[in-house]
Amino acid sequence: MDITDLINRTRAGDRNAFADVVQHYQRPLFGFLGRMGLGQAHAEDIAQETFLRAWQNLGDFNPRRAGFSTWLFTLARNLTLNDLARASSRCEVTMGDDFPDPPGDQPQPETVMLATEQKRQMRMALRRIPLSDRTILALAYIDEFDLRAIGKIEGCSTGAIKTRLHRARMKLREYLENPDE
């Protein structure tokens, strides 16, 4: 699927082309929002709003400045941060617990227990890390954006992203090694 072709067709009025764009980015975007700490319903709302804004503002997308995925994830990030800032003042933020289970056949009970405990520890450690650091970790290690793209999404230099990513990894490691501190 050629995203550039779909974007051009969408700009020309082809709604089906944008439906293909949504289909292509829906899962990665939804996963990104979950890793930012949103519950399923909240992530669905933000994803829907992101795609709506992308549709409405497609004329603002400039492929010379960034890739479409970078532009789309920037929209999602900004919507999420704004929404969480509003929600935190109302104390309504919930943390997502939706990490994918490892693939495979029927695991042994002790394997399930270990995986469940590891997920719990990871969620607890991630909750202790500031949202901006969680975002960078998710973009780098789960969504596999390169440092330059993360810099565009976060609005800072590649060097700053390297530093923030290093610090976020150190914080995460510390929290995983010392969960009770």
| Tens digits of residue pLDDT in 56-77 | 899 888 888 888 999 999 999 8
Q: Distance between CA atoms of 75 and 80, rounded to whole angstroms?
A: 9
Mean pLDDT of 162-180: 87
Quick one: pLDDT band at residue 101, thresholds 50, 70, 90? Answer: very low
Cβ neighbours of residue 46 under 8 Å, at least 6 residues apart?
33, 38, 76, 79, 80, 83
Each residue's pLDDT tens digit, 14-63? 889 999 999 999 999 988 888 887 778 888 899 999 999 999 899 888 88
Q: What is the structure's pLDDT at 159? A: 93
pLDDT attached to residue 50: 94
Residue 59: count of CB within 10 angstroms of its CB: 7
**Which comes out higher in pLDDT, residue 61 or 1?**
61
Which part of the chain has CATH 1.10.10.10?
Answer: 102-181
Residue 83 vs residue 99, higher pLDDT: 83
pLDDT of residue 123: 75
Decide if pLDDT at 89 tops 60: no
* CATH (residue range 1-98): 1.10.1740.10
Cβ neighbours of 137 (radius 10 Å): 20
Task: Enumerate the CATH 1.10.1740.10 domain ranges in the chain, comma separated.
Answer: 1-98
Query: In the 3-class helix/strand/coil scheme, how is the chain assigned residue by residue?
Result: CCHHHHHHHHHCCCHHHHHHHHHHHHHHHHHHHHHCCCCHHHHHHHHHHHHHHHHHCHHHCCCCCCCHHHHHHHHHHHHHHHHHHHHHHHCCCCCCCCCCCCCCCCCCHHHHHHHHHHHHHHHHHHHHCCHHHHHHHHHHHHCCCCHHHHHHHHCCCHHHHHHHHHHHHHHHHHHHHCCCC
In this prediction, residue 160 carries a pLDDT of: 93
Span 104-133, pLDDT tens digits: 556 666 676 777 777 777 777 777 888 888
Domain 102-181 has CATH 1.10.10.10: yes
| Single-letter amino acid code for the residue at 124 | M
Model pTM?
0.60
